[in-house]
């Protein structure tokens, strides 16, 4: 199949400490709420105070778990994860939560949202220290878990306080041992992570929408550079770094659910406001504003409200495309975008359209969409984008294309317009996007738009989605790294469906 022509989500994490509750089901519904963040694999770890058990597999949350499986996962602590692979390929070994057993018998299960930029350095360190547990996995999350488990002289909490300052990149972590739930966030707070309160416990999640679905009340965000521990003694917090907030602005544009709140600002309200500002920056005479469902809908509403042009639904989306493991035949594949979107011809015919979408990555989707709308009778097609041109890849947890593949990386706005065949093209400016978030520019990461990476990047050959696979091959050739089995007993606690 062709490369995906849209920003791909990163991952979703969820944790619960709730004696007396069915924590596996809490995790299931929490992950269900953040399924949009990762649709390749899912897993839940639970502890009953004496042992940690992990159940994970490739697939959606609803495909991996059923009633009987959840009923068998008993305990009062849970960590859940839904995955889109930003480091390492999509395999059972790379599904999360990751799991390790220390030499003292303590178990660790960890879920990670984000992406480290010093993964190869950490992997070499693990190899040089003779740390076992890589076992064919190829993720930064596995390396972190192995390093956490490698200090028998320290508690998990103390080991985390030692390890966290050595990690570079984006990470929102939820992890656990037999007795304690932990949460940590990188010093920049690139990826979201929130704390919620249950009547009989606590919840940690990637988005506030997951708190809502399990009936938890929002308490606060996990702060950048903070480590939280929750156990029978309550909740405690430590600072392992001075916070330097650089939240991902693309969470507001596309990644987060519209019913989520980030830094006190509702995502839906932000997207509608972006649409209003887009209309002021790029007005056009037209008959109808239509969104590219569903990511373009709030901005299209804002554009219509500000411009006075009627809003309508001109495209119907098949919600299940992209969430199937059956590859389309060549005949179906040639239909391209129609697998995902189909036009309402009676609505489109004879109209001058404004089509609002959240972003343009490679341009293939917009090119096919414009062609389809013209074939359906549209007189004019004016494309409006509720984010600036994506010119730079993300190394902090979004699987954007490489710079060479980004259509805006090599073309100006008129060049992109010609490439996709639109009558006009307008992007919201970065200043107006940031204004719509109501966050200070200094607290946001906009590297995919402006190339200003707030966390220093290593050389090009030591970064990328498959960096560990490449590094392991290189180091194997030097005889410095051996693929070792997981620590004794680890496989026994991780259940393969």
Closest by CA position to 64, among listed 83, 85, 43: 43
pLDDT at 125: 87
Binding site annotation covers 357?
Answer: yes
Beta-sheet pairing, 181-185 with 226-231? antiparallel
Binding site annotation covers 82?
Answer: no
Closest by CA position to 10, among listed 190, 157, 182, 187: 190
Burial class (CB in 10 A: 0-12, 13-18, 19+), 342: middle
Burial class (CB in 10 A: 0-12, 13-18, 19+), 355: buried
The boundaries of every CATH 3.40.50.2020 domain in the chain are 260-439
CATH code reported for the domain at 260-439: 3.40.50.2020
Q: Are 201 and 18 in contact (CB under 8 A)?
A: yes
φ, ψ of residue 231 to 5 degrees: the values are: -150, -160
Bond prior to 253 in cis (omega within 30° of 0)? no
Q: Are 195 and 13 in contact (CB under 8 A)?
A: no
**Cα→Cα distances 422→73, 288, 384, 411, 447, Å:** 53, 15, 10, 15, 27
* pLDDT mean values, one per 10 residues, the chain (497 residues): 51 96 97 92 96 94 95 97 67 84 91 93 86 64 92 92 96 97 98 97 98 98 98 97 97 95 97 98 98 93 98 89 62 74 95 97 91 97 97 87 84 96 98 98 96 87 49 33 30 48
φ, ψ of residue 457 to 5 degrees: the values are: -100, 145
Using DSSP's 3-state secondary structure scheme, residue 114 falls into strand
Binding site annotation covers 461?
Answer: no
Backbone region of residue 231 per phi and psi (left: phi > 0; alpha: psi in -120 to 50; beta: other values): beta
> Around Cβ 7, how many Cβ atoms within 10 Å?
22
Q: Are 76 and 22 in contact (CB under 8 A)?
A: no
Report the Cα–Cα distance between both ends of the chain, in Å, rounded. Answer: 28
CA distance linking residue 43 with residue 22, whole number of Å: 16
Helices assigned H by DSSP within 60-195: 61-64, 67-72, 119-128, 140-148, 156-163
Binding site annotation covers 394?
Answer: yes
**Cα→Cα distances 292→18, 158, 297, 314, 372, Å:** 40, 48, 7, 9, 13
CATH 3.60.20.10 is the classification of domain 11-246+482-495: yes
- Half-sphere exposure in the Cβ direction for 257 (13 Å, CA): 22
pLDDT at 474: 37
Question: What element of type H or E holds 209?
Answer: helix 208-213
Give the chain's radius of gyration (CA, Å).
Answer: 23
Q: Are 138 and 88 in contact (CB under 8 A)?
A: yes
The boundaries of every CATH 3.60.20.10 domain in the chain are 11-246+482-495
pLDDT at 325: 55
CA distance linking residue 190 with residue 172, whole number of Å: 8
Q: Which are the catalytic amino acids?
A: 11
> Around Cβ 467, how many Cβ atoms within 10 Å?
24
């Amino acid at each position: 199949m062709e490369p995906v022509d849209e920003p791909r989500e990163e991952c979703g994490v969820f944790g619960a400490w709730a004696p007396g509750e069915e924590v596996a089901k809490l995790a299931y519904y929490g992950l269900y709420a953040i399924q949009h963040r990762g649709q390749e694999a899912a897993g839940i770890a639970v502890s009953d105070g004496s042992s940690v058990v992990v159940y994970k597999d490739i697939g959606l949350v609803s495909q991996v778990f059923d009633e009987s499986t959840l009923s068998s996962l008993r305990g009062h602590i849970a960590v859940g994860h839904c995955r889109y692979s930003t480091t390492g390929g999509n395999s059972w070994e790379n599904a999360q939560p990751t799991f390790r057993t220390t030499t003292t018998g303590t178990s660790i299960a960890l879920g990670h949202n984000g992406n480290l930029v010093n993964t190869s350095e950490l992997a070499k360190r693990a190899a040089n220290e003779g740390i076992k547990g890589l076992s064919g996995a190829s993720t930064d999350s596995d390396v972190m878990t192995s390093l956490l488990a490698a200090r028998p002289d320290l508690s998990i909490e103390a080991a985390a306080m030692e390890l966290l300052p050595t990690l570079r990149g984006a990470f929102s972590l939820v992890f656990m041992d037999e007795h304690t739930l932990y949460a940590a966030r990188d010093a920049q707070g690139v990826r979201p992570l929130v704390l919620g309160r249950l009547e009989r416990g606590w919840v940690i999640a990637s988005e506030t929408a997951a708190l809502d679905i399990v009936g938890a009340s929002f308490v606060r965000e996990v702060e950048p550079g903070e480590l939280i521990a929750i156990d029978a003694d309550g909740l405690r917090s430590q600072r392992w770094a001075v916070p330097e907030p650089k939240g991902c602005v693309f969470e507001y544009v596309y990644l987060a659910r519209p019913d989520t709140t980030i830094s006190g600002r509702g995502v839906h309200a932000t997207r509608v406001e972006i649409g209003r500002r887009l209309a002021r920056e790029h007005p056009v005479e037209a008959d109808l504003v239509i969104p590219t469902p569903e990511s373009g809908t709030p901005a299209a509403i804002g554009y219509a409200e500000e411009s006075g042009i009627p809003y309508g639904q001109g495209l119907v989306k098949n919600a299940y495309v992209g969430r199937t493991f059956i590859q389309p035949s060549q005949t179906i594949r040639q239909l391209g975008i129609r697998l995902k979107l189909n036009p309402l011809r009676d609505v489109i015919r004879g109209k001058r359209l404004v089509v609002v979408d959240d972003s343009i990555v490679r341009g293939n989707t917009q090119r096919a969409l414009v062609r389809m709308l013209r074939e359906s009778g549209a007189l004019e097609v004016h494309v409006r984008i509720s984010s600036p041109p994506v010119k730079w890849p993300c190394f902090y947890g979004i699987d954007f294309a490489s710079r060479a593949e980004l259509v805006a990386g090599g073309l100006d706005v008129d060049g992109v317009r010609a490439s996709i065949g639109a009558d006009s093209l307008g992007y919201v400016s970065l200043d107006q996007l940031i204004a719509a978030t109501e966050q200070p520019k200094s607290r946001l990461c906009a590297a995919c738009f402006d190339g200003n990476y707030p966390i220093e990047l290593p050389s090009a050959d030591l970064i990328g989605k498959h960096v560990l696979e490449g590094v392991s091959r290189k180091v194997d050739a030097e005889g410095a790294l051996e693929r070792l089995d997981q620590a004794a007993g680890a496989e026994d606690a991780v259940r393969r469906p």
